[in-house]
A and B are shown apart, each in its own frame.
Chain A
């Protein structure tokens, strides 16, 4: 069940989107996030949908694979939709006991659901088309101006790249530990919530132990190769901000400003 998680995964490719500078892609996602919160009508989402589909097509990401990444947010989605559906005051359409569904509730719930879905889809497109290393390089470069006021830009970027790097490792580890405990008769599927929560202990303890061990080993390996933070660090692959990047960034920025105010 853990193997379905696609958030943070990278699908190597050679498409136009893959070749864009990571800064362009990060900024585009930022613009997208701001823009999507300014949308006032349901039909405005057609524009967002068209934009997202275009990016998916250009990047040649299998749609099924991308949609699978929505699975983990399913519960959050249901929760948000449920809350908005029942708790928004307004013109009552249906009444079920103390709960009532209002017209405004339906509108708000669909807005929230669409927002969440597109946010996750667009953000996954960023990680799916950008190698973790260039993603963090881009982030570091973008944060560099703030380093002057004391923001540890390099350290933040490094932490993020390590976190991304270890997602698949930890998933495999969880899978293995679950199997080992199942083989010893552990039961994760039955019982009430309390029992189920308790049955997670045999998974969580070994997982934490191995995560700390891995962190320790990684720190040691980095020190052994003389890692000492950002100071004086150079790069083999320099990021190049091309004309196309500028065009895409400006295009995305203006599209989203337009969406924010007019759609």
Chain B
């Protein structure tokens, strides 16, 4: 077991009139190499939850075991934990500050004392892994490139510390469909290449359905469903009640079913949907 969270609770501004309980009794496990999607309504506590994973927030109750070390009760969160768990915040391009892209990506490896020779190698790998050419970009200013590229540089800035676990909070917010898909497929590649564990917080059911192995659905500070995407999206009525959506292809299949077509509604990718539609049309499948 790579991560084990036990009864994590977090309260904002305890002891003031503005006291709000953000998450309550959150427990779940993550295996090494898993791709976990966390979905939930705005304000359901997703961002609060993931900020515990690298110790940016200390829970008011509960403990976490990560890579064999027990945090919060026995060990205080430290730099070591931050190095292991890379965190890509919403709109991560807001964190860029250096004069050159090289320096910015090198910020994390330098802080974690990786050693000068290694730093350069890490920066090169990180930039190539997000799809930017090292030679072409290293000396440019991070403020002179496009928004999509800034996002990639910011993600590289987290990857350069070589995290074992990568947490991404809405990494595709505000990007066009092409940009979204590019970032997500890069994340899939990374997982294969570096064998890192991915935790993806997202609003987009399409993204989660296409990429995650397991989905945690949060509602009002609690995890209400923890299962594989197939089973989660089967509960579409419950999801609708929580103000959540289901993947667009699944919606299409449900509509077809309502019109009287005999289709399988447990379909989450465009390819599967194409196959299924061709099947009921009776035509040969040449997809």
Contacts and interface: CB of A to CB of B under 8 A. Distances in A.
Given A186-B111, A202-B97, A65 B17 contact: yes
A161 B48 CA distance: 32
Contacts of B51: 179
B112 interface: yes
A209 B13 CA distance: 29
Most buried by B among A187, A205, A210: A205
Interface residues of B, number: 26
B96 interface: yes
Contact of B108 (A3, A64, A184, A210): A184
A182 B108 CA distance: 9
Most buried by A among B56, B107, B111, B158: B111
Contact of A183 (B82, B96, B97): B82
A201 interface: yes
A201 B143 CA distance: 16
A63 B285 CA distance: 73
B230 interface: no
Contacts, number: 64
A183 B111 contact: no
Contacts of B112: 185
A185 B82 contact: yes
- The interface residues of chain A, by DSSP majority, are classed as helix
Interface in B151-200: 157-158, 161
Nearest to B111: A185
A89 to B, nearest CB: 45
Interface string A60-84: 0010110000000000000000000
Contacts of A3: 13
B94 A177 contact: yes
Most buried by A among B95, B111, B161: B95
A179 B89 contact: yes
A181 B95 CA distance: 7
A183 B79 contact: no
A181 B87 CA distance: 10
B83 interface: yes
Given A65-B17, A179-B89, A185 B79 contact: yes
A180 interface: yes
Contacts of B82: 182-185
Interface string B109-134: 00110000000000000000000000
A206 interface: yes
Interface string A158-180: 00000000000000010011011
Contacts of A209: 94, 96-97, 143
Nearest to A199: B111
Nearest to B57: A179
Given A62-B17, A202-B107, A209-B143, A183 B86 contact: yes
Nearest to B157: A184
Contact of A180 (B79, B89, B111, B161): B89
Given A185-B82, A202-B97, A180 B92 contact: yes
B202 interface: no
A184 B98 CA distance: 14
Given A62-B17, A65-B17, A184-B111, A206 B96 contact: yes
B273 to A, nearest CB: 38
Interface in B42-71: 51, 54, 56
A177 B157 CA distance: 14
B82 to A, nearest CB: 6
A209 B99 CA distance: 13
21 contacts: A65-B17, A179-B89, A180-B87, A182-B56, A183-B87, A184-B95, A184-B108, A184-B157, A185-B79, A185-B82, A185-B83, A185-B107, A185-B111, A186-B107, A187-B79, A187-B111, A202-B107, A205-B98, A206-B96, A209-B96, A209-B97
Given A179-B51, A184-B108, 20 more contacts: A3-B13, A176-B94, A180-B94, A180-B95, A181-B107, A182-B56, A183-B82, A184-B95, A184-B111, A184-B161, A185-B82, A185-B83, A186-B107, A201-B97, A205-B97, A205-B98, A206-B94, A209-B96, A209-B97, A209-B143
Interface of B: 13, 16-17, 51, 54, 56, 79, 82-83, 86-87, 89, 92, 94-98, 107-108, 111-112, 143, 157-158, 161
Interface of A: 3, 62, 64-65, 173, 176-177, 179-187, 201-202, 205-206, 209-210
